[in-house]
Chains A and B, each alone.
Chain A
C-alpha cells in the first residue's frame, strides 16, 4: 500500500522570539488530507510554531518541509505560493479595506471542479454577503473570523493553518466556526493544522492531536478516540 505523503513536516525546530528561546526542539508532521491539532496552554509556543512554519518568525535551526520542498528560511509569500493559507489568531482583517476587497486580495484560481469564488464565499457566509462594502475593521469578532476563514478559502489552498479560531468567540459562534471548518476544510480534503486551547473544538475538527507542553516540547500524540477515552490526558495537559 502506498504511504500517505507528509505534506507538512517540522524536524527539530528551535525558534527564538526576540531574546526568548520559545521553541526548543519541536518535531511534528501532517499527512495529506489529514486534520491535525496542536493542543496546549497559553504561552507554550503554539503560535510561534505556526509563525515558524509560515516563515514569519524563521527558526534558528531545524527544518520545515512543505509539499516536498525544504521551506526553511523561505519568506511568507513563497510559502503562501505553495498553497498554504494562514489564519492568525488576531484574524488580521485589513482595516480600511471593504469585506469584498479583503476577499479579492486573497482570491486565486482553484484547481478542482468546484473552486472557491467570491460568489461561493457569499453563498456560504451570508453574513459577509450583507456587508460587502463595509470596512472589514468594523465587523464583529465573529464576522471577522468568518471573513478570515473566507479569505483563506478563496485562495483555494491545499493546506490551511488556523491559529486559535475559537479565540474571543461566544460558545454559539465557536459551534458555527467548528461547523465551517468541518464542512469546508476537513470534508473537502484540505489538509488542516489547527492550534487550540479549546480542546472540545479541536476534538471535533481534527483527528490527531499533538499535546504541547512548555517551550514547544511535544508531550504526547493522541488520536481523537484516545483523548475521548482517556479524559485524564486532557486534564494533565490543558486544565488550568
Chain B
C-alpha cells in the first residue's frame, strides 16, 4: 500500500470508529443532561442493540429493516428501566443512581449471557456490503462506508429532532433550566422518560451499526461504556459540539495507536484524557454544569 492509501485507510477508520463512539456518547450525555443520572448500564444497551440486530438479521430480516427496529426495541428497554428502576430513586442523591445503574449493568450482562450465550456472534451483511471500493489506492470495505453514512444520517436526524421539533425544543430547554420547564406546564417526569428512551435508542442503533465492525460478545458494552464516558468527559459534560470533536479525536487516536502499537491503544487514549483534563478540567467545551 502507498502512503496515501494508508492515510486514507486510517482517516476513514477513525471516522467510522469515532462515529460509533459519538452516537453512544451522545445517548449517555442526553440521559445525564436531562435526568442527572450517569447511566453505567448504557454500555449494556449498546450490547443489547448489537445482539438484537444479530437476532433480527439471523432470523432472515434485511439488515436495513433491522436497523430501524433495533433502536425501537432498545428504546423500549430504556423505558422499562427508567420506569421500574431509575424513577423510584430519582429523589435521592446521584450516588444512589450511580450504584444502581452499576448493578443494572451486571444484571443486563447476565441476561445477555443467558439469552445469547458466551460465544461471539457475527451479523451477516447484505452481499453488496461485503465488497470493497477503491478509494485513492486503498480497497475500502463497503460496509464501513455504509456505517459511516448511517452514522451521518443518525446525527442529522438527531439534530433536526432537537432543533426543529417541539419535543426537541422542550428537551433542550430542560437540559438548561428544568425548573422553568415545569413552570411552563411540562411534566418533567415525561422529560426524564423521553431522555432514557432517546438515549437508549441511540445506544441500540450504535450497537447494530458496530455489530459488523467487531465481534459481538457479552462484554462489548463495558469497553464502549468507558470509551463513551471518555468522549463526554473530554468533550465536556452537556456539550454536544464538544462530544463531536472528542469522538473524532478519540477515533483518530485509537485508530493510529492500533496501527502502530496495538496493545497500548487504550492507554494512549487515557493518557490523552488525563492531559486534556489537567488543562481543561471541564473538558474541551464543558459548560461546568456539574451538580
Contacts and interface: CB of A to CB of B under 8 A. Distances in A.
A105 B183 CA distance: 11
B187 interface: yes
Interface string B158-189: 00000000100110110011011111111110
Interface in B2-39: none
Contacts of A77: 182-188
Given A77-B185, A155-B185, A88 B180 contact: yes
Nearest to A87: B183
Nearest to B173: A94
A94 B187 contact: no
Contact of A81 (B166, B169, B185): B185
Interface string B184-224: 11111000000000000000000000000000000000000
A97 interface: yes
Given A75-B187, A92-B177, A97 B169 contact: yes
Interface residues of B, number: 17
A136 B182 CA distance: 18
Given A77-B188, A92-B177, A94-B177, A56 B183 contact: yes
A76 interface: yes
B172 A94 contact: yes
A134 to B, nearest CB: 15
Given A104-B169, A105-B169, A94 B180 contact: yes
Interface string A43-71: 00000000000111000000000000000
Contacts of A155: 184-185
Interface in A107-125: 108
A86 interface: yes
B169 A101 contact: yes
A96 interface: yes
A38 B65 CA distance: 61
Given A75-B187, A80-B184, A105-B184, A56 B179 contact: yes
Chain B interface mostly: helix
Interface residues of A, number: 23
A97 B173 contact: yes
Nearest to B182: A76
Given A92-B177, A94-B177, A80 B183 contact: yes
A5 interface: no
Given A81-B185, A106-B184, A76 B179 contact: yes
A75 B170 CA distance: 18
Given A75-B182, A80-B183, A105 B188 contact: no
Contacts of B187: 75, 77
A220 interface: no
A102 B166 CA distance: 11
Contacts of B176: 94-97
Given A75-B187, A77-B188, A92-B177, A97 B172 contact: yes
Interface string B86-124: 000000000000000000000000000000000000000
Contacts of B169: 97, 101, 104-105
Interface string A185-200: 0000000000000000
Contacts of B166: 104-105
Contacts of A101: 169, 172-173
B38 to A, nearest CB: 22
A180 B182 CA distance: 25
Contacts of A95: 176
Contacts of A55: 182
Contact of B173 (A80, A81, A88, A105): A105
B228 to A, nearest CB: 22
**Which of A55, A56, A96, A105 has most chain B Cβ within 10 Å?**
A105
Contacts of A97: 169, 172-173, 176
Contacts of B183: 54, 56, 76-77, 80, 86, 88, 92
Contacts of B186: 77
Contacts of B173: 94, 97, 101-102, 105
A133 to B, nearest CB: 12
A54 B183 CA distance: 8
Contacts of A92: 177, 179-180, 183
A240 B173 CA distance: 38
A75 B91 CA distance: 14
A105 B170 contact: yes
Interface of A: 54-56, 75-77, 80-81, 86, 88, 92, 94-97, 101-102, 104-106, 108, 151, 155
7 contacts: A75-B182, A75-B188, A77-B184, A92-B179, A101-B169, A101-B173, A102-B173
Given A88-B180, A155-B185, 10 more contacts: A56-B179, A76-B182, A77-B182, A94-B172, A97-B169, A97-B176, A101-B172, A105-B181, A105-B184, A106-B184
